């Protein structure tokens, strides 16, 4: 034994240790890979030995190699071995290796759960601390679940060192295992007041991180944090707290108002830039959330902007960057105060640092006005011309387009200028901007009608010079603008001065080098232009035919198809034998009519018309077809491209076709082929138009295009700069005029009013009946752990227990304010603070609240049920709603009959009794796997067709009006449901109409009600005891849904109610709790002049309340 | 929260990496490659042109980096985090390293890389600042070292049979 040990020790002396390895790597710079491969071999040898010290040495070397980028995941098990060593030295190495190389999906971790638990509870705080640090790197959901309790118990450790680490690790535990949040939260909250500043700061960190993702749950901690903020001097913690407040204020604007003062004080006093920056950020967030109603609102913004200006002007690039970043946040609320610093921002565009340039760009887009748009865009364009690298260039271009097009071109006063800018931009070298430009060109020309003539002229010039674009833009995307150009020219060709010339240039421009979709658009628009030509022009005809014939052999299907269609059309028109004028006119009609832009979400918003069931079969599928699943699948796959095989499927006979049939088929196929333009066949000059055209020798007309590498100046294309000069000179003139007039009147036109207003069409085609709201439902990313955390409610952990709340409610209930402010009072302020009363926020808030609720009650009594929206805290309401909800839904449907195939139900609330009969809404559910046909409802002699057929799993609801009088409440009506499912079947229905159907909405004065009771008219009396979980208020609200309304509340708990039947019978009720005010048993006593009705209504009420 | 920390030399050699958000191997390598090259080119420009800021926007993260002598310290944080605060964390780390090694240099970190990790673990846990006090961090790390040394001495004594 001893010998073995000594031997092991001697061997160890020859092993490489970490230092040797590092040194070795440094000495073998030239063949590092080889050296490391050799070392890895040695390490593998060492790991095979039993001596744990040798293994630790190997693992420590592995950790170094891992950092250099080598995969060590194969050594996972060895790492765990070293982690389980009893010696701290080795444990340290093992845990370090684990924290570096393990991650949450590492499988060997499952083996380590118990060991980690043991280490967490180790007596030495360094061992436990090491485990905590390391665990934070590889915590898996399983580990989080298993170890959550152990981490929690560390929070009560006597050692601050472990408490601190435990608190921080909790955040990771929450992320991996959200269920741990609820039980851990109270303890975490306690740590905010831990005597050790490190622990306190750690707790602030964790809550800040949690709250930033899901602020709602942490609103109630605001007073605690406020106290911390005003008392603490730890800048690290202050930053976190202030950040946390920034996340909370959007939910609670009053908190924001409270914050402004201390924050501005900090801004003035602090010398730490990081704190200053955080304060400014939060002040901005606060100001955004309380944009109005602040007296010194403007002053705070001014202060922020001033401070930011100092940051931006600073020589420190970091401060400059952050200043710009924060400035862009202010921009959203008060663009005016930022706009005055335009020069400063513009100067940042020249900064060598692209982070700064990009931030400055962001800012610029918010600073534009009608007046300075041209100047800014010109500056950006000059930047674009000299910018290096396509990324920045593309960024600039996107920004220019964004600036100009924002708010439906709000800031553009001269659209001719804008079109010129677009044309100019299209000639610049760039990466992938063509598509954006094309889209913008089309958008402008379509939506701004007045600019169309100009735009079309420019576009036709662009097409004429398309060769320049093709040359200059080596990237194909530059030619993308040709797509827009040719579409516009074709669509609005009536505006062209010289359509013939445009057509010619389009034909020349149609180059096989263009992208296929552009070629296809060219072909289509050539046709449009062609239809516009006034007189017969054989030269043009020949040109078009020549071009199209080239394209018929295009490898792209779309181009080929369009070309051959167009070719046939033009041939027929050009053929003098056929009435050419007639055809040309018809072609014109084909392209007549304006195309409106379609809203991007239009398709989604088409409402499904009533009565249209998208899942229903239009034609019942053939039964035998539906049996064969493969067949069905094939059908589905061939919705669009049905091949012939399918069509012939029916005729296909199993036997071989005879000779005769084969011959017929062959003849047919040949005929098909010859009429199919897409079928490539040996050329036979059969077409007469072709022969005509051959005389023209079109192919020789080919036009020489000029090849130049330098982008040409295109004569006729307006330069954007020319507009700038016009604008500035006209402004100068204006300025002079203004100066003259100054004595007479104060300058009234604000800078935004400058320039003419051009109508921009905001019409987007939307389907009829589509809702106008543009809101898309925000969906949470299911993979984000924070969404799981957000789903956890911490409300009941923070609010006083339910019983207390109810007491409050019933007290104030007497005043008729049940639904208003009182529900919330006390929820915002956690218990401790309320008692202390030393929190300024708490006082402030509760005071306000009272005022608000008073105001509200005055405002309108009808809004009693509305305050949900006004509820500023939104903490309590949803829970309340939920508890009431099930009662509402359970009774909403009543099953009146069923068998193994169908289930029939009715909606009691839908029953209406009239003089001639009653109407009822009946729902039939098909619960079986079979399809059911011809469902009819038979009541007495009458038969009502419900539906012709019902698919498995679907249902059908129909309102039936039954002409039946003499109905008695409580007595069932016999009815049958007949249907066919292979054979005729029938279900017996027990149609009991709810008693409330006989009631009508009514109200009665106190006095009349008293009179009614004394008059003795209500001769029948019945009473019931009801076991219920509802309190009196909830019970009355349930009853009022059934048209039984409260008349009077006596002594806070006894309620008298009244209802009136359609036939004029009065019903009076008294509802009171028995057993000394407990909510769980109530007695309901009723009197009426109609016994049957009373019994039925009482029964109904009892079932509803129970 | 801090997503990851990289330390690399002026030649782009990685000296330390710590990931607080799990990433798979190839992804890690890609990030390291991209960041080292961007940061190195930015700082190359430093000598010719005026100074660049220490912040880069990278994917949905904010990269804060700073150069100390031949080493670049590069932290990735959330966009909402305080960049200046992060610079201070970097500085704090460097200060502690400096105190611990006694005017630290790149070689100290290369040869004692595990110590550099342990110090980092005392400063930051799970991507959050754990201890802001330099003294406390140094104290903890020294105590832990002492604990380890005592253990080694004890074991050595046991080995030769003195205890």
Q: How far apart are CA A388 and CA A848, in angstroms?
A: 58
Alpha helices in A580-719 (DSSP H): 580-590, 602-605, 623-627, 629-637, 644-648, 659-675, 688-694
Q: How many CB pairs under 8 A join A and B?
A: 148
Task: Say which DSSP state A922 is in.
Answer: E
* pLDDT value, residue A848: 42
Residue contact B80–A68, C-beta within 8 A = no
User: Alpha helix (H) ranges present in A235-296?
Assistant: 235-248, 253-269, 273-289
- For residues A1026 and A753, which has the higher predicted lDDT (pLDDT)? A1026
**pLDDT band per the 50, 70, 90 thresholds, residue A500:** confident
Residue A28 CA to residue A716 CA, distance in Å, equals 68
How many other C-beta atoms can be found within 10 angstroms of the C-beta atom of residue A721? 16
Integer Cα distance of A122 and A129 in angstroms: 9
* A922 phi and psi angles, rounded to 5 deg: -110, 135
What is the C-alpha end-to-end distance of chain A, expressed in Å?
A: 80
Please tell me which of A883-887, A976-980, A1009-1013, B116-120 the model is most confident about, judged by mean pLDDT.
B116-120
Give pLDDT, residue A643: 45
- pLDDT of residue A302 exceeding 80: yes
Model confidence band, residue A911 (pLDDT cutoffs 50, 70, 90): confident
Instruction: State the Cα–Cα distance between residues A589 and A618, nearest whole angstrom.
Output: 34
Q: Do residues A54 and A39 lie in contact, with contact meaning Cβ atoms separated by under 8 Å?
A: no
Distance CA A474, CA A515 (A): 13
Distance of CA A198 to the CA centre of its chain: 39
Range A545-551 contact pairs with CB under 8 angstroms and sequence separation of 24 or more = A545/A570, A545/A571, A545/A574, A545/A693, A545/A698, A546/A693, A546/A698, A546/A699, A546/A701, A547/A507, A547/A510, A548/A523, A550/A512, A551/A510, A551/A512, A551/A519, A551/A523
User: Using CB atoms, which residue from A93, A124, A202 is nearest to B147?
Assistant: A124
For residue B15, give the 3-state DSSP assignment: strand
Contact B118 A92 (CB under 8 A): yes
- From chain B, the residues in CB contact with A88 under 8 A are 147-148, 151
A517-540 pLDDT, tens digit per residue, is 888 888 888 888 888 777 777 788
The Cα–Cα gap between A469 and A463 comes to 9
Higher pLDDT, B127 or A984: B127
Tell me whether strands B55-58 and A999-1000 are parallel, antiparallel or unpaired. unpaired
Q: Which residues of B touch A277 (CB under 8 A)?
A: 82-84
- Environment class of A931 (CB within 10 Å of its CB; exposed 0-12, middle 13-18, buried 19+): middle
Higher pLDDT, A1029 or A742: A1029
Residues of A in contact with B140 (CB under 8 A): 129, 161
Give the length of chain B: 163
Spatial neighbors of A191 by CB under 8 A, at least 6 apart, are A155, A163, A167, A199, A200, A202, A203
Kindly report the average pLDDT of chain A as a whole number: 73
Asked if B74 and B97 touch (Cβ cutoff 8 Å), the reply is no
Q: Check pLDDT > 70 for residue A201.
A: yes
Instruction: Give the pLDDT score at A715.
Output: 55
Kindly determine whether residue A278 and residue B136, on different chains, have CB atoms separated by under 8 Å.
Answer: no
| pLDDT surpasses 60 at A841 | no
Residue of A nearest to B48 (CA): A352
Q: Phi/psi of residue B64, each to 5°?
A: -115, 125
Residue A246 has pLDDT above 80, yes or no: yes
**C-alpha angle A116/A119/A125, rounded to 5°?**
140
Q: What is the C-alpha separation between A294 and A257, in angstroms, rounded?
A: 8
Confidence band for A623, pLDDT divided at 50, 70 and 90:
low
Band of residue A203 on the pLDDT scale cut at 50, 70, 90: very high
Cβ–Cβ gap A67/B113 under 8 Å: yes
Q: Determine, for residues A136 and B82 on separate chains, whether the beta-carbon distance falls below 8 Å.
A: no
At B95, is the pLDDT very low, low, confident or very high (cuts 50, 70, 90)? Answer: very high
What is the Cα–Cα distance from B44 to B40, expressed in whole angstroms? 6
Tell me how far the alpha carbon of residue A280 is from its chain's centroid. Answer: 29
Closest CA relative to residue B42, chosen from A223, A321, A667, A1063: A321
How far, in whole angstroms, is CA A881 from its chain's centroid?
A: 26
**pLDDT of amino acid A94:** 93
Give the 3-state DSSP-derived string for B21-82, with helices as H, strands as E and coil as C: CCCCHHHHHHHHHHHHHHHHHHHHHHHHCCCCCCEEEECCEEEEEEEECCEEEEEEEECCCC
Share above pLDDT 90 across residues of chain A, in percent, rounded to a whole number: 6
* Gap between the Cα atoms of A99 and A119, Å rounded: 15
Q: What is the spatial distance between Cα B68 and Cα B74, in angstroms, rounded to a whole number?
A: 11
Instruction: Kindly determine whether residue A205 and residue B148, on different chains, have CB atoms separated by under 8 Å.
Output: no
More confident residue, A843 or A225: A225
Chain A positions in Cβ-Cβ contact with residue B53 (cut-off 8 Å): 317-318, 320-321, 353, 355-356
Residues of B in contact with A212 (CB under 8 A): 80
Q: How far apart are CA A1098 and CA A658, in angstroms?
A: 83
The segment with the largest mean pLDDT, out of A241-250, A493-502, A966-975, is A241-250
Q: Which residues of A touch B128 (CB under 8 A)?
A: 168, 171, 202, 205-206, 209
pLDDT of A231 above 90? no
Question: Residue A286: pLDDT band by 50, 70, 90 thresholds?
Answer: confident
Q: Check if the interface score ipTM surpasses 0.85.
A: yes
User: In degrees to the nearest 10, what's the CA dihedral of A774, A775, A777, A778?
Assistant: 120
Mean pLDDT check: name the lowest of A35-49, A765-779, A929-943, A1067-1081: A765-779
Q: Identify the pLDDT of residue A1036.
A: 77
CB contact under 8 A, A198 and B132: yes
pLDDT of residue B33: 92
- A126 min Cα distance to partner chain B (Å): 6
Q: What mean pLDDT is predicted for residues A874-898?
A: 48
Check pLDDT > 80 for residue A648. Answer: no
C-alpha distance from A798 to closest chain B C-alpha (Å): 26
Beta bridge partners of A411: none
Bridge-based pairing of strands A894-898 and A1045-1050 is unpaired
Name which of A149-163, A326-340, A875-889 the model is least confident about.
A875-889
Give the least confident one: A511-525, A548-562, A612-626.
A612-626
Nearest to A116, CA basis, from A107, A106, A103, A138: A138
**Which residues of chain B does A136 touch, with a Cβ-Cβ cutoff of 8 Å?**
20, 125-127
B19 CB neighbours in chain A (<8 A) are 103, 137
Classify burial at B94, counting beta carbons within 10 Å of its beta carbon; exposed 0-12, middle 13-18, buried 19 or more. middle
Residues 6+ apart with CB under 8 A from B61: B3, B76, B77, B78, B79
Query: Which of residues A119 and A1081 earns the better pLDDT score?
Result: A119
How far away is chain B from the Cα of A172, in angstroms, using its nearest Cα? Answer: 7
Main-chain phi, psi angles of A901, to 5 degrees: -115, -45
Q: What is the pLDDT of residue A408?
A: 80
What pLDDT digit, counting tens, does each position of A793-816 carry?
A: 666 555 444 444 443 433 433 333
Q: Does A752 score more than 90 pLDDT?
A: no
pLDDT in tens, A440-450: 888 888 888 88
Minimum mean pLDDT among A108-117, A316-325, A687-696: which range?
Answer: A687-696
- Residue A830 has what pLDDT? 35
Verify whether the Cβ–Cβ distance B111 to A19 is below 8 Å.
Answer: yes
Query: How far does B118 lie from chain A, in Å, by closest CA?
Result: 8
From the DSSP assignment, how many helices (H) and strands (E) are in chain A?
Answer: 49, 15
Note whether B57 contacts A358, CB cutoff 8 Å.
Answer: yes
Cβ contacts of B20 on chain A, cutoff 8 Å:
136-137
Contact A468, A479 (CB under 8 A): no
Closest Cβ–Cβ partner in B53, B87, B136 for A353: B53
In 3D space, the residue among A278, A236, A242 whose CA is nearest the CA of residue A259 turns out to be A242
The predicted pLDDT at position A292 comes to 55
Chain A residues within 8 A of B130 when measuring between CB atoms: 164-165, 168, 198, 202
Residue of A88, A162, A244, A312 to mutate, testing the B interface (most B Cβ within 10 Å of its Cβ)? A88
**Residue B147: is its pLDDT beyond 70?**
yes
pLDDT level of residue A130 (50, 70, 90 thresholds):
very high
* pLDDT band with cut points at 50, 70 and 90 for residue B118: very high
List Cα–Cα distances, A30 to A24, A34, A35, A341, in angstroms.
11, 9, 9, 56
3 state SS of A625:
helix
Q: How confident is the model at residue B65 (pLDDT cuts 50, 70, 90)?
A: very high
Asked if the model's pLDDT at residue A290 lies above 90, the reply is: no
Question: For residue range A367-417, what is the model confidence (pLDDT) as tens digits?
Answer: 788 888 888 888 888 888 777 667 778 888 888 888 888 878 888 888 888
CA A913, CA A1061: separation in Å to the nearest integer?
A: 11
Position with higher pLDDT, B91 vs A1008 = B91
From B101's Cα to the closest Cα of chain A, the distance in A is 16
Q: What is chain A's alpha carbon radius of gyration, rounded to the nearest angstrom?
A: 41
Confidence (pLDDT) at A785: 61
Cross-chain CB nearest to B147 (options A88, A168, A202) = A88
Which of these, A223, A224, A189, lies nearest to A203 by C-alpha position? A189
pLDDT, residue B93, reads 94
Highest mean pLDDT among A741-745, A1092-1096, B150-154: B150-154
Contact list in A for residue B125 (CB cut-off 8 A) is 132-133, 136, 165, 168-169
Measured CA to CA, the distance from residue A284 to residue A825 in angstroms comes to 29
Q: Which of A263-267, A591-595, A1096-1100 has the lowest mean pLDDT?
A: A591-595
Burial of A1078: CB neighbours in 10 Å, binned 0-12, 13-18, 19+: exposed
Read off the pLDDT of each residue in A978-1003 and give the average, rounded to a whole number: 77
pLDDT reading at A689 higher than 80: no
A1027 three-state secondary structure: strand
Task: Kindly state the average pLDDT of the residues A176-189.
Answer: 90
Going from the C-alpha of A111 to that of each of A157, A460, B155, the distances in angstroms are 27, 73, 28
Write the DSSP assignment of A378-424 as a string of letters: HHHHHHHHH--SHHHHHHHHHHHHHHHHHHHHTT-S-HHHHHHHHHH
Element (H or E) spanning A25, and its range?
Answer: helix A18-27
């Amino acid at each position: 034994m001893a010998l073995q040990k000594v031997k092991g020790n001697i061997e160890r002396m020859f092993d490489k240790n970490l230092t040797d390895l590092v040194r070795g790597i440094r000495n073998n710079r030239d063949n590092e890979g080889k050296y490391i491969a050799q070392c890895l071999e040695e390490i593998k040898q060492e790991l095979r030995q039993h001596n744990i010290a040798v293994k630790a040495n190997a693992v420590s070397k592995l950790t170094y190699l891992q950092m250099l980028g080598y995969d060590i995941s194969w050594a996972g098990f060895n790492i765990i071995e070293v982690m389980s060593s009893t010696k701290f030295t080795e444990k340290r190495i093992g845990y370090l290796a684990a924290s570096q190389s393990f991650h949450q999906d590492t499988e060997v971790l499952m083996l380590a759960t118990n060991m980690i638990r043991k280490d967490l509870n180790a007596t030495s705080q360094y061992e436990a601390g090491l485990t905590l640090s390391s665990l934070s790197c590889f915590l898996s959901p399983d580990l989080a679940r298993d170890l959550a309790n152990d981490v929690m118990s560390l929070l009560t450790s006597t050692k601050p060192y472990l408490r601190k680490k435990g608190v921080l690790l909790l955040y990771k535990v929450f992320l991996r295992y959200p269920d741990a949040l609820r039980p851990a939260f109270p303890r975490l909250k306690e740590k905010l007041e831990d005597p050790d500043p490190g622990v306190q700061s750690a707790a602030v960190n964790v809550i800040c991180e949690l709250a930033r993702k899901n602020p709602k749950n942490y609103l109630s901690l605001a007073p605690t944090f406020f106290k911390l903020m005003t008392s603490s001097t730890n800048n690290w913690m202050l930053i976190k707290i202030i950040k946390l407040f920034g996340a909370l204020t959007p939910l609670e604007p009053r908190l924001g108002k409270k914050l402004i003062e201390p924050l501005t004080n900090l801004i003035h006093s602090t010398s730490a830039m990081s704190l200053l920056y955080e304060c400014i950020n939060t002040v901005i967030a606060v100001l955004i959330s309380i944009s109005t109603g602040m007296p010194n609102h403007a002053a705070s913004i001014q202060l922020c902007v001033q401070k930011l200006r100092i940051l931006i002007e600073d020589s420190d690039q970091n401060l400059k960057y952050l200043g710009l970043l924060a400035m862009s946040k202010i921009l959203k609320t008060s663009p005016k105060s930022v706009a005055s610093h335009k020069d400063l921002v513009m100067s940042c565009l020249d900064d060598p640092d692209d982070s700064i340039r990009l931030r400055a760009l962001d800012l610029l887009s918010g600073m534009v006005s009608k007046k300075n748009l041209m100047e800014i865009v010109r500056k950006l364009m000059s930047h674009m011309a000299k910018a290096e690298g396509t990324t920045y260039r593309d960024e600039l271009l996107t920004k220019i387009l964004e600036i100009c097009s924002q708010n439906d071109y709000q800031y553009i006063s001269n659209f001719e200028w804008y079109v010129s800018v677009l044309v100019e931009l299209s000639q610049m070298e760039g990466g992938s901007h063509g598509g954006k430009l094309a889209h913008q060109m089309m958008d402008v020309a379509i939506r701004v009608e007045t600019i169309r003539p100009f735009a079309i002229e420019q576009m036709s010039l662009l097409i004429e010079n398309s060769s320049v674009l093709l040359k200059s833009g080596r990237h194909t995307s530059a030619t993308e603008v040709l797509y827009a150009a040719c579409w516009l020219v074709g669509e609005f060709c009536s505006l062209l001065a010289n359509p013939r010339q445009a057509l010619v240039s389009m034909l020349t421009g149609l180059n096989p080098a263009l992208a296929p979709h552009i070629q296809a658009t060219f072909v289509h628009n050539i046709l449009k232009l062609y239809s516009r030509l006034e007189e017969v022009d054989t030269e043009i005809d020949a040109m078009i035919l020549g071009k199209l014939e080239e394209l018929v052999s295009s490898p792209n299907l779309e181009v080929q198809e369009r070309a051959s269609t167009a070719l046939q059309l033009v041939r027929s028109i050009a053929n003098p034998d056929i009435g050419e004028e007639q055809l040309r006119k018809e072609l014109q009609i084909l392209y007549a009519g304006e195309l409106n832009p379609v809203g991007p979400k239009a398709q989604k918003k088409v409402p499904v018309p009533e009565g249209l069931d998208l899942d229903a079969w239009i034609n019942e599928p053939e039964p035998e077809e539906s049996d064969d699943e493969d067949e069905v699948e094939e059908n589905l796959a061939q919705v669009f491209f049905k091949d012939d095989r399918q069509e012939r499927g029916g005729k296909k006979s199993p036997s071989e076709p005879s000779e005769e049939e084969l011959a017929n088929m062959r003849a047919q196929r040949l005929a098909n082929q010859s009429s199919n333009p897409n079928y490539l066949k040996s050329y036979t000059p059969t077409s007469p138009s072709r022969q005509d055209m051959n005389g023209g020798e079109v192919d020789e007309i080919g036009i020489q295009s000029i090849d130049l590498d330098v982008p040409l100046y295109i004569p006729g294309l307006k330069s954007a700069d020319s507009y700038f000069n016009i604008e500035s000179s006209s402004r100068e003139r204006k300025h002079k005029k203004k100066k003259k007039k100054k004595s007479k009147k104060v300058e009234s036109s604000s800078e935004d009013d400058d320039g003419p207003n051009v109508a921009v069409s905001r019409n987007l085609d939307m389907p009829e009946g589509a809702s106008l709201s543009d809101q898309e439902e925000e969906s949470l990313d299911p993979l984000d752990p924070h969404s799981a955390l957000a789903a956890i409610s911490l409300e009941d952990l923070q609010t006083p227990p339910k019983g207390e709340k109810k007491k409050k409610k019933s007290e104030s209930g007497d005043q008729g304010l049940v639904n208003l402010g009182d529900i919330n009072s006390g929820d915002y302020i956690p218990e401790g603070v309320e008692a202390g009363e030393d929190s300024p926020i708490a006082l402030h808030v509760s005071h306000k609240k009272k005022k608000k609720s008073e105001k509200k009650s005055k405002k309108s009594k009808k809004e009693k049920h509305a305050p949900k929206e006004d509820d500023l805290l939104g903490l309590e309401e949803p829970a309340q709603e939920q508890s009431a909800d099930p009662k509402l839904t359970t009774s909403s449907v009543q099953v009146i009959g069923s068998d193994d195939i169908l289930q029939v139900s009715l909606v009691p609330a839908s029953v209406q009794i009239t003089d001639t009969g009653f109407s009822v809404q009946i729902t039939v559910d098909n619960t079986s796997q079979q399809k059911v046909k011809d469902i009819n409802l038979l009541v007495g002699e009458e038969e009502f067709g419900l539906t012709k057929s019902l698919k498995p799993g679907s249902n059908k609801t129909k309102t039936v009006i039954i002409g039946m009088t003499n109905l008695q409440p409580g007595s069932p009506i016999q009815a049958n449901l007949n249907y066919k499912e292979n054979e005729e079947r029938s279900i017996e229905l027990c149609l009991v109409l709810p008693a409330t159907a006989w009631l009508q909405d009514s109200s009665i004065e106190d006095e009349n009600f008293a009179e009614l009771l004394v008059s003795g008219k209500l001769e029948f009396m019945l009473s019931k005891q009801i076991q219920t979980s509802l309190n009196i208020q909830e019970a009355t609200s349930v009853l009022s849904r059934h048209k039984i309304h409260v008349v009077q509340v006596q002594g806070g708990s006894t309620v008298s109610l009244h209802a009136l039947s359609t036939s004029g019978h009065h019903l009076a009720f008294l509802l009171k709790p028995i057993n000394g005010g407990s909510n769980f048993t109530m007695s309901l006593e009723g009197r009426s002049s109609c016994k049957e009705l009373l019994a039925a209504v009482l029964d109904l009420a009892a079932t509803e309340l129970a | 929260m801090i997503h990851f920390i990289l330390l690399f030399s002026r030649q782009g050699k990685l000296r330390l990496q710590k990931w607080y958000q799990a990433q798979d191997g190839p992804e890690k390598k890609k990030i390291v490659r991209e960041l080292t090259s961007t940061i190195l080119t930015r700082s190359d420009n430093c000598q010719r042109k005026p100074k660049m800021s220490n912040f880069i926007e990278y994917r949905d993260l904010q990269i804060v980096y700073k150069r100390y002598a031949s080493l670049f310290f590069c932290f990735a944080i959330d966009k909402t985090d305080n960049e200046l605060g992060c610079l201070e964390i970097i500085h704090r780390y460097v200060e502690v390293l400096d105190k611990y090694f006694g005017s630290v240099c790149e070689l100290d970190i290369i040869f004692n890389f595990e110590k550099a990790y342990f110090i980092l673990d005392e400063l930051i846990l799970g991507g959050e600042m754990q201890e802001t006090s330099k003294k406390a961090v140094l104290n903890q790390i020294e105590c832990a070292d002492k604990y380890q040394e005592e253990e080694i001495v004890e074991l050595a004594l046991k080995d030769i049979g003195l205890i």
